[in-house]
A and B are shown apart, each in its own frame.
Chain A
Amino acid sequence: MKLLLIEDEPELARNITDYFSSNGFRCEWVSTLSDAKEKIGMYNYDCILLDLMLPDGDGLKALKYLKSEQKEDGVIIISAKNGLENKLEGLETGADDYLSKPFHLPELMARVQAIVRRKQFSGNNQVSFEEITINLSAHTVAVNKNTLALTRSEFNLLLYLIGNKNRVLSKNAIAEHLSGDMADLMVNHDFVYAHIKNLKKKLVDAGAGDYIKSVYGLGYKWHA
């Protein structure tokens, strides 16, 4: 997997690169609009992470350039601008997704994977891990061909954990992922525990391995 990161904050770029590299991505990083255009013109990427406020101009110009070159690379805008109008403008210009800063790295990973999946396997949308098969279009999960009855939250949680396998996911990151827009209003994270417990039980009962590990009360990890 090849990823282009267009971001002018070096520390944030390093953090993103670290996380994605250890999950098997090849990351390239540029910090200016001109460098970004050069890279976009020369190579193809599975996904481009695009910051909007760049030192030499508006990041949307890179997106427009990409579209004018008829390229199909997936684009996720990562920006500190979190107004609805910014999101709409980004999506209308042709971005596939929009993630406001600050975000959790596992969240960014899940979004990147969703786009890569959409671009690469249009139609047959499946994620498998050992005996577990997740059908993304039908929203079903099967363990050794036995379909599991999961709630929407449990389904999202499973996909999130598998997408970030062998990574420790903080309870905060999981809670935010599950509450989506409502994350600001979370009263506490206890509901994460309940969902993890239920998912774990359903998987084990269906004959799957016990992959979900708790990490010192800090979070959870899908242990492959």
Chain B
Amino acid sequence: MTKKLLDKTIRLYLVFSAAVLLFTVPVFYGILKTLHLEEAEEMLMLRLQEFREQTLPTFHTADIIVWNKWNQDVKILASEPHITLPNFGNAEYLDVVEKDMEPFRTIKAPVVIDGMPFVYFARSSLLQTDDLIGSILLVYGTAILLLLIGLALFTRTYSRKLWEPFYLQLARLESYQIDKTGPLFLPETNTEEFQRLNKAIEQLVTTNKAIFKSQQEFIENAAHELQTPLAVIQTKMDNLIQTETLTGTTAASLTAIYDTLERMKHINQNLLLLSRIGCNTFSDKAQARPDLTLSEQADFLAEQAIANKVDVRYNIIEQTEVFANPYLLEVMIRNLLTNAIRYNKHGGVVRISLGNKALHISNTGKEEKLDEQRIFDRFAKDSTSISGNGLGLAIVKQIVDRHGWSIAYSYENDKTHHFVVHFQ
């Protein structure tokens, strides 16, 4: 699956930030928690030291009851033999005000009062520190989140601006057709990489245009140069058949040569036409009427159809106007129609209909779907057909493309080949 460049950048950025956040928050929490625990212990130790140094020298066993009565957090408890050193612990006590259990850090240390062993006990509430950690984490989280969102938005906007020339280049390239004239206008940019890209594209296009042009010229020149030799052969033949001593066998050979010559002429003419369309020779367009073109071709078509024993049926022919080069429109319609007759079978049918800005031509013929991928290629004709030069549909496709129309081929269930040109 492909994603947009900007989305990709931001996605990566967000994933990274989320990972950092997820990782740092617990670590941060842990560090804070440890720090605060140490702080509480330090304070408990300090109090113990204070007690030992300032209170203990004048403290007597009789004071214990009073002390314990008035002191919430520091108490003197009965001796516990295993406590020989100050020793920390956690405990929960009921908070009288809040009426719930609260966490405390506690310290127990052995003390000697009036020569008797006792246990010094002190506690420090952890609730305040917990609240503090919570608040700090909240502020931290919010700050990071805001930073993230801000950076994402900023990156998005900035990246979009940064990549703008690239997107323009892309759009220009996508709509550019090498065989249509006109230079490729690439956006001005002050980013070095895009400038380089512009230069590279322009060079590529210029080279390709030159190659394309010389190729077209070559085809046209080659076809042109062939016209004169063809004329020599044909006129030679026209004289040759005047020979009085012509026999049946030579006449048959001459017929074969004539027919072959005719095929060569047609290939040559079609090549010329293709290269001319490629060179944009037929660029003037006007309102044209395919329905009239159809009726102009009707006589010729009927003649060809009868000779090939094919029935041509006109279904609905609506008056239609298209914006086209009239000559090319005529060539396109003629090619499609003669193909429908040529590749038909004896006793077959050609159906033509025009309406709704579309021309439908269907014909019976070979009972097999044609290769959709290749039928519009040059010289892609079916090897089994003898007539035809394999350029007719290539010409049709060129004409369709030139006008921004579309053509589709389908093989229908009723064993007909169906071509439809959409004039839109």
Specify the chain A residue showing the minimal Cβ separation from B224.
A80
Provided the pairs A104-B234, A188-B308 are in contact, do residues A218 and B251 lie with their beta carbons within 8 angstroms?
A: yes
Is B255 a contact of A9 with CB atoms below 8 Å?
no
Is A12 a contact of B228 with CB atoms below 8 Å?
yes
Is A82 a contact of B235 with CB atoms below 8 Å?
no
CA distance A167 to B259 in the complex (A): 19
Specify the chain A residue showing the minimal Cβ separation from B309.
A190
CA distance A35 to B297 in the complex (A): 44
Is A187 a contact of B281 with CB atoms below 8 Å?
no
Is A82 a contact of B269 with CB atoms below 8 Å?
yes
CA distance A83 to B224 in the complex (A): 11
Which of A11, A22, A101, A173: most chain B CB closer than 10 A? A101
Is B304 a contact of A80 with CB atoms below 8 Å?
no
Digit string of B247-284 for contact with A (CB within 8 Å is 1, else 0)? 11001101100110110011001101000100001000
CA distance A96 to B235 in the complex (A): 22
Q: How many residues of B contact A (CB 8 A)?
A: 48
Is B248 a contact of A185 with CB atoms below 8 Å?
no
Provided the pairs A84-B327, A217-B251 are in contact, do residues A168 and B242 lie with their beta carbons within 8 angstroms?
A: yes
Provided the pairs A84-B327, A102-B230, A184-B266 are in contact, do residues A194 and B241 lie with their beta carbons within 8 angstroms?
A: no
Is B254 a contact of A218 with CB atoms below 8 Å?
yes
Is A15 a contact of B300 with CB atoms below 8 Å?
no
Cβ–Cβ < 8 Å partners of A168 in chain B: 241-242, 246
Q: How many residues of A contact B (CB 8 A)?
A: 44
State the Cβ distance, A214 to closest chain B Cβ, in Å. Answer: 10
Specify the chain A residue showing the minimal Cβ separation from B236.
A15
Digit string of B215-258 for contact with A (CB within 8 Å is 1, else 0)? 00000000011011011111111110110001110011011001
CA distance A106 to B241 in the complex (A): 12
Is B246 a contact of A11 with CB atoms below 8 Å?
no
Q: Is A142 an interface residue (CB 8 A)?
A: no
Specify the chain A residue showing the minimal Cβ separation from B225.
A80
Q: Is A140 an interface residue (CB 8 A)?
A: no
Is B300 a contact of A182 with CB atoms below 8 Å?
yes
Cβ–Cβ < 8 Å partners of B306 in chain A: 191, 194
CA distance A188 to B386 in the complex (A): 11
Is A18 a contact of B239 with CB atoms below 8 Å?
yes
Q: Is A125 an interface residue (CB 8 A)?
A: no
Q: Is A153 an interface residue (CB 8 A)?
A: yes
Which of B233, B238, B251, B266: most chain A CB closer than 10 A? B238
CA distance A38 to B251 in the complex (A): 42
Digit string of A1-29 for contact with B (CB within 8 Å is 1, else 0)? 00000000101100110110010000000
Cβ–Cβ < 8 Å partners of B234 in chain A: 102-104
Q: Is B335 an interface residue (CB 8 A)?
A: yes
Cβ–Cβ < 8 Å partners of B190 in chain A: none
Is A186 a contact of B242 with CB atoms below 8 Å?
no
Is B248 a contact of A101 with CB atoms below 8 Å?
no
Cβ–Cβ < 8 Å partners of B236 in chain A: 11, 15
Q: Which one of B272, B342, B387 lies within 8 Å of A82 (CB-CB)? A: B272
Is B265 a contact of A102 with CB atoms below 8 Å?
yes
Q: Which one of A83, A102, A153 lies within 8 Å of B231 (CB-CB)? A: A102
State the Cβ distance, A173 to closest chain B Cβ, in Å. Answer: 7
State the Cβ distance, A106 to closest chain B Cβ, in Å. Answer: 7
Q: Is B303 an interface residue (CB 8 A)?
A: yes
Binding site for B on A (CB under 8 A): 9, 11-12, 15-16, 18-19, 22, 80-85, 100-106, 153, 167-168, 170-173, 179, 182, 184-191, 194, 215-219
The 5 closest A-B pairs by CB, nearest first: A216-B251, A102-B231, A15-B235, A80-B227, A190-B307
